[in-house]
Structure 1
Amino acid sequence: MMAKNEFLPFATADGANVLSAEDYQTLRSRSNGFSAGVARSQELNTVWRQASVIAHVVAQFIADTNNSDVADDGDLDKLQAGLIQALSKNVNNTVPAASLKTAGITQLSSATDSESETLAAMPKAVKAIVDNLSGGRLLNIQSFTRSGTYTPTPGTRKVKVILTGGGASGG
């Protein structure tokens, strides 16, 4: 069964008693509101049509997407929840997952050791990596030809060690 939308459009028939778009655009009451006195049906019908048409379209989107009735019962929280649910469904169903070749939705991560190609690094993770890399510079090269103790120079944060074996020595 098709979901029911109780938000109905007003004055949408051909020849409806409404102002032209040009006349409505220049209508002084559009910016100031209507004053006391005789109401002009053409002006009011135009206002009601504009409001009702957009309300109907949004409500129909909610009904169709969520496959649930949209009631004109004044329940703003329910209407808002339905709109959020419909928007979420629509985005999740129409926007693809991001990849190196496709723009889309991606999951964020604060991991600094990830090898994933489907996660996006959060600023915290990027900062941690940059902080880790930016503080380093080559301070010294030391070569050892015999056993000894290495004492790092002040400011050393990392040490790269390359060991090369030379074979057995006679003795």
Structure 2
Amino acid sequence: MPQNDFVPWATGSGANVYSQATYAANAARQIGVVDGEADPQLANNAWRQGSVIASMVGSFIAAAGYDARDNSDLTTLLVNFQNAITQLAQASSPSGISLLHSGPDTSTTPNQIVISTVTPGVASLQDYQIYEVVPANSITGTATLKIGSLPVLPLLRRDGGQFVNGDALAGSPFLVVKLGSAFRRLSATPSEFITTVLPYTPAGANSVFAFTPGVALSDITGGATSGYSGPFTVAQSLTVPAGAHYAAIQAVAAFRIADSGGADCRTRIRTTVQGSSPILSTKYQGVRPAGGNQIPCPISLTLQNLDPTKSVFVELLVDKSETVTSPIYDPRIDVQYG
């Protein structure tokens, strides 16, 4: 429990002090103590006024959850007083307004972020507190966040799901908010965006997916001149097992072209029913990213009247029109079948 060592002087019943009017009019109060015998009542008045203020400040610090110790450690006392002021200001802020707390990640363990010291400081974790997180290590899966000596809480995506590999890179800042028993990222992660683009459909359907977070391909096949010339590059693939009468295929790949002029890029789907020749979809989706911008290119295809005795091999194909370097990010295929 927070401790306040600063106690008031001469505040008890019958204290040996002057009345306030007598003390205020006392000449010694106005010019200071002079040589001669000390006046105990005058001294008690002065000590009481100073000690009452000190005790009040100490009580304010302790009420905020910090110690106010009479141990000559002025530095800690000042820090605790500043933290108490900050906490009061945050609590008094209008609804919806929070102070931003920040500090370096001192953890050396991936997925276990530790901010040992945050500014402004906090004495306890409260809902709607906002923290800036700059992970020292890339987040590769289920993650936690610890603020100072306060309890460790799960660190979740904006949608409440767990982080996956590629959602947060080392040194890349993002904001989180404390909500209930966890911290939630305020912005969407790459895996959330893919989920948003590729919603799961019919209830009760079986599903398979293939997902490679981060950079999957350093470059893709492209034409030497303007216009698609192929051949396609396989960005992702999976197999739909036998037993399906239909398959709803959704796929996406994100293109990033550093060249300022950009390049035409497109995605297509190729399917191969077990024992048959590959079929390239006539439908394709195209984008033209440029200047380092990353643009997702989703595509979908539905197969019906499938032979349930045969499996189906599904491939996400990509190509481009120019020879500029075109890395592919987060290629994913989702299939619902039944």
State the TM-score, normalized to the length of structure 1.
0.54
Structure 1 residues 106 and 63, CA, compared in 2 at 3 Å: closer, same or farther?
closer
Structure number with the higher strand fraction is 2
1:4-153, aligned counterparts within 5 Å? 4-65=3-64, 67-97=65-95
Q: Does 1:3 align with 2:2?
A: yes
Tell me, in whole angstroms, the C-alpha distance in 2 between the residues paired with 1:54 and 1:11.
Answer: 13
Moved more, 49-58 or 72-81: 72-81
How many residue pairs get aligned? The number is 100
1:68 CA displacement: 2.6
Encode CA deviations 1:128-155: one digit per residue, 9 max, x unaligned: xxxxxxxxxxxxxxxxxxxxxxxxxxxx
Tell whether the 8 Å contact from 2:67 to 2:80 is kept in structure 1 after alignment: no
Consecutive unaligned residues in structure 2, runs of 5 or more: 101-338
Structure number with the higher helix fraction is 1
Quick one: which amino acid aligns to residue 86 of structure 1?
A
1:105 CA displacement: 8.2
1:92 CA displacement: 0.6
Quick one: which amino acid aligns to residue 40 of structure 1?
D
Identical columns (%)? 36
Tell whether the 8 Å contact from 1:97 to 1:106 is kept in structure 2 after alignment: no
**1 or 2 for the larger relative contact order (CA 8 Å, sep ≥6)?**
1
Quick one: which amino acid aligns to residue 46 of structure 2?
V
1:69 CA displacement: 2.1
Quick one: which amino acid aligns to residue 5 of structure 1?
N
Tell whether the 8 Å contact from 2:90 to 2:99 is kept in structure 1 after alignment: no
* Runs ≥4 residues deviating over 2 A: 104-107
State the TM-score, normalized to the length of structure 2.
0.28
Encode CA deviations 1:7-32: one digit per residue, 9 max, x unaligned: 11110011100111101111112221
Consecutive unaligned residues in structure 1, runs of 5 or more: 99-103, 108-171
Quick one: which amino acid aligns to residue 78 of structure 2?
Q
Tell me, in whole angstroms, the C-alpha distance in 1 between the residues paired with 2:81 and 2:10.
Answer: 25
> Aligned Cα RMSD in Å?
2.1
Tell me, in whole angstroms, the C-alpha distance in 2 between the residues paired with 1:7 and 1:19.
Answer: 23
